[in-house]
Amino acid sequence: MPPAADELINAISDAVGSLVSVGAITASADNDRFEAYVWSIVIRAAIAENAVVTYRDPDKNEVYDLLFRTSPGSISSKVQPFTHALIQFPVKPDLEAHIGIKIQGKSRVPHECDVVVLPSAEADTCRVTNTHPRHSSIVIAAECKYYYSNLPFRLSREFLGLCKEMRAVDCYFAVNTSKESVEKVLAYYRCHCETLVLPSASGSETLLHAFRKAFRDFKRLN
Amino acid sequence: MSIPEQEIRRLFDKLATQLRERGAGTVVDQVIDEIAQGKQIIYKTLRRKSQVRQLYRPENDEATTDRSGRREYAETLQYSAAERLDLLLQALERAIIDAGAIDSELVKNYRSVRFVPEQEEENVRTFRAGALTPNIKELEDLKAHIAGLRALVEG
């Protein structure tokens, strides 16, 4: 005889409880992992477009163990040896991919960006002068959201605000879930929006192709 | 045979309460926000009644009115009791199964990934990728229980 609904609910709750005790369902940690996952898609896209990618600390030493921020900070910070990827296309300016750094928007106010690709020259200038990179230098700015429910509608308004402060063409909204109304608003304003970005879902491949196009455009223009 | 709506509401409340007690309140809160937000927006085209006097609104958006005077209105549909319970189950799948898949993907692609705060006083949020990966049995059990509950509710 199959178990009754109440028994299944008890079993679900017990399984969830044991997983919570080992660190599951921590929204901030799930968001941090998701940002790292989207960053890894940027790296895959760069490699697919024939870049050589290495991982570096702020002093440009090559590293193999990656260290990421749990909250946004400054690209010039040396409090911890946070990792970025150095992306090198043949005979093109070097690029860097960072997680969780601040970017100076059109209003000149710094904004937190989850995943950012920018020229190494801009990053070097900011590390030396202790400033934030300018929005005009950005190649990719991805806003990453990991949600357990479908997307809250307010996220579309927040992303439209980011697009207004950066160059909209460089901004990508990458989320693990979806919501028709959010997608509709972002489609209306012609924003890059990739839903269902997960290891086994189609959104990751779509996002990979969008990033590859951004890198191809960068190579054409530089 | 499907479960009556009132019984499904009771099951939702029971699961939500137990999840909160076991430290998964964030999942419940997000689902409750989603329920309040509504399921879907549909559009209805209504003909304007000629005898109804319209308020003068110089800023009216002409796109919402066609030449025959029909107007498009948006309506938000609400989730049914069964859909609400399914939202909670889907949220659990994202919180545990999908998050575990992302964790595994990072472990597969990189030798070591560590997340630390920039400021020392935040040190409660230090963790490594891979922490969620070893719990395969619990994950498989959870998948089976969720599938079982879905099958019961759908009849």
Q: What are the sequence ranges of the domains in chain A?
A: 27-221
* B67-107 pLDDT tens trace: 666 788 888 889 999 999 999 999 999 999 999 999 999 99
Average pLDDT by consecutive 10-residue portion of chain A (222 residues)?
A: 83 90 84 97 98 96 95 91 97 97 95 96 96 96 96 93 91 94 93 94 96 97 94
Measured CA to CA, the distance from residue A184 to residue A181 in angstroms comes to 5
- Is residue B50 very low, low, confident or very high in pLDDT (cuts 50, 70, 90)? low
Partner B contacted by A148 (CB < 8 A): yes
Partner B contacted by A208 (CB < 8 A): no
Does residue B152 have a pLDDT over 70? yes
Supply the pTM of this predicted model: 0.91
Inter-chain residue contact A37 with B139, CB threshold 8 Å: no
Q: Which CATH architecture has domain A27-221?
A: 3-Layer(aba) Sandwich (3.40)
B14 contacts in chain A (CB < 8 Å): 6, 9
Is B74 inside a domain boundary? no
Q: Which ipTM did the prediction report? A: 0.93
Inter-chain residue contact A19 with B99, CB threshold 8 Å: no
State residue A76's pLDDT score: 93
Inter-chain residue contact B94 with A148, CB threshold 8 Å: yes
Is B51 inside a domain boundary? no
Is B141 inside a domain boundary? yes
Does residue B60 have a pLDDT over 60? no
State residue A1's pLDDT score: 52
Residue in A2, A4, A71 nearest the CB of B118: A71
A146 contacts in chain B (CB < 8 Å): 99
d(CA B126, nearest CA chain A) in Å: 8
State residue A175's pLDDT score: 97
Does residue B125 have a pLDDT over 80? no
- Is residue B65 very low, low, confident or very high in pLDDT (cuts 50, 70, 90)? low
Structural domain including B88 reads: 5-39+79-154
Number of domains in chain B: 1
State residue B21's pLDDT score: 95
Partner B contacted by A187 (CB < 8 A): no
State residue A141's pLDDT score: 96
- 8 Å CB contact between B64 and B72: yes
Is B23 inside a domain boundary? yes
Is B52 inside a domain boundary? no
B109 contacts in chain A (CB < 8 Å): 40
Mean pLDDT of B47-68: 59
Percent share of chain B, pLDDT over 70: 81
Does residue B51 have a pLDDT over 60? no
Is B137 inside a domain boundary? yes
